[in-house]
Structure formats: structure tokens, C-alpha cells
Amino acid sequence: MSGAPDRWGRDVGVGNAPFRALYRRWFRVEWEGLEHVPPRGGGLLVANHAGMLPVDGGIVSLGIEEELGRPVYSLAHHGFFRFPFVGNLLARTGGVVGHPDNAHRLLTEDKSLVLVFPEGQKGPVKPARERYRLQRFGRGGFVETAMRAGVPIVPIALMGTEDTTPTVTSLRIAGQDVPLTLNSLLFGPLLGPFLPFPAKIRARVLPPVHFDEPAGLAGYPRALLMDHAESIRDSIQRALSRMLQQRESVIRG
């Protein structure tokens, strides 16, 4: 079933079959706390980020669409959209350039669910010793986005994504720390990122955070934004730690 793409380029049912197989059989994704996702209206989904390919974005999108029937748009770095085919493919599954105006429009005009990863690139490229430790959540920009749009933030803790492409060590290449994954070691640098291990993935949705501040303001106090950002990061970290404690094995979950 494929209709015409919407203005964002999202096309229901396109190219999902192979990813669905990955989702169900390889990663065997399980959800908890779905009742915390608003059944209608805008909402900013916030999750921890890991894994070399944007697999976690796809997993959250597909999971929520399948379980709740609500489409999810993911904010992605504009760099991806510079490449032929990549941009189109991302857009078809709900990927949107991470511009504040786009986020605002999706949340207020379309009243959609929008997914962001506040760790940004710091998530996937963190060193091995930081396994399952959330990196800094930026300067609270995502909190401002939610406040300005007058929508709640729905934190989601993702367990297992890190183990699909685990970082073994970091190589210093051209002044940058480039993570070396076990996948790249085993399958080579070209294939490695595209062959994730079959770690069991669990997604736990935490209670939404509603803001008292009025929507639509030009700016919000920086200290307030950072406080909220830190508290949301903390709640995801604690949920993640609990999930890891209950995990029996990486593959079985």
C-alpha cells in the first residue's frame, strides 16, 4: 500500500519490508510503556542514540507506527540529504532535515510525533568505555523546541542498539576520533556498518514531561532549558541502567 508522498516526502509502506524483517526477526524489538505516547496531537520523542547507522531512528518510528498507528518523523542531520538516494530514502521513512522551523511546523501545523536524539553525533562516536552512558544533551535546544510548540516531551530509553555495532576502540584519523566497531573488524570497513549483530532491542517509553511555560515565545530562559534537559537525560539513563540489570544476555535480551 503506497500512497503519494506527503509534503515531507514520507511515503507509507515504501521500502519497509526488509527493515520490518530486521525489526521483527533480527532485533526482535519489544516495547513497554506505549500508553505514555499521546494518542493524538504533537509530541517530541527523545531517545538515546547509538549505533553507526541511524537504525535506532528507524526502530522507534516503525515500532510506534506499528503498535499505535501514529506516524513518526525523525529529525536528521542535513548532511545526509546531500547524498543522492539517501535523502529520498530517509524522507520516505519519515526523515526530515533537522531545522527548527521544520520541527515547529511538524509539531504545530501537522500535530505530529517528532523524534530527536539530543546526543547528536556524540552518541554513535563515543569511546567504548562510555558504553550505555548517555552523552551530554546539548544546550537544551530540544526542550526549547517542545516548549515553543506547546507539546510534551516523551522520553524513550533504547537498550540493545549499542550492541548492534559495538565500539571496540577509537582510531585517530585526520585529527578526529573515529570509532572502530567489532563489525568493521570482522567484516571490513565497507560492509561492517551494514551488518549489525542480532542484539535484542527493548524500548521503554517513560512518562511524558509537560511544560508550564506558555508556547510560542521567542526565547526561554537558558537555565530552565538546561535543567529540563539534564533531568530528562537522567531519567533515560536510570531507565537504561535498570533495563541492563534485568538483561540476561545481549542476544536473547
The distance of closest approach from Cβ of residue 82 to another protein in the complex, given in angstroms and rounded to an integer, is 5
The distance of closest approach from Cβ of residue 105 to another protein in the complex, given in angstroms and rounded to an integer, is 7
For another protein, the closer CB: 78 or 131: 78
Q: Which of 109, 135, 107 is nearest to 120 (CA)?
A: 135
Grid cell 548492534 is found at 164
Q: Which of 79, 63, 53, 193 is nearest to 115 (CA)?
A: 63
Q: What is the C-alpha separation between 210 and 46, in angstroms, rounded?
A: 13
SS3 133: coil
The distance of closest approach from Cβ of residue 99 to another protein in the complex, given in angstroms and rounded to an integer, is 4
For another protein, the closer CB: 103 or 154: 103
Q: What is the C-alpha separation between 139 and 127, in angstroms, rounded?
A: 21
The distance of closest approach from Cβ of residue 101 to another protein in the complex, given in angstroms and rounded to an integer, is 4
Q: What is the C-alpha separation between 59 and 218, in angstroms, rounded?
A: 33
What is the binding site for another protein (CB under 8 A)? 4-5, 7-9, 78-79, 81-88, 96-97, 99-102, 105
Q: What is the DSSP letter of 83?
A: S
The distance of closest approach from Cβ of residue 3 to another protein in the complex, given in angstroms and rounded to an integer, is 13
Grid cell 521503554 is found at 204
For another protein, the closer CB: 31 or 73: 73
Q: What is the C-alpha separation between 145 and 153, in angstroms, rounded?
A: 10
The distance of closest approach from Cβ of residue 190 to another protein in the complex, given in angstroms and rounded to an integer, is 20
Helices (H) and strands (E) in the chain, counts: 8, 9
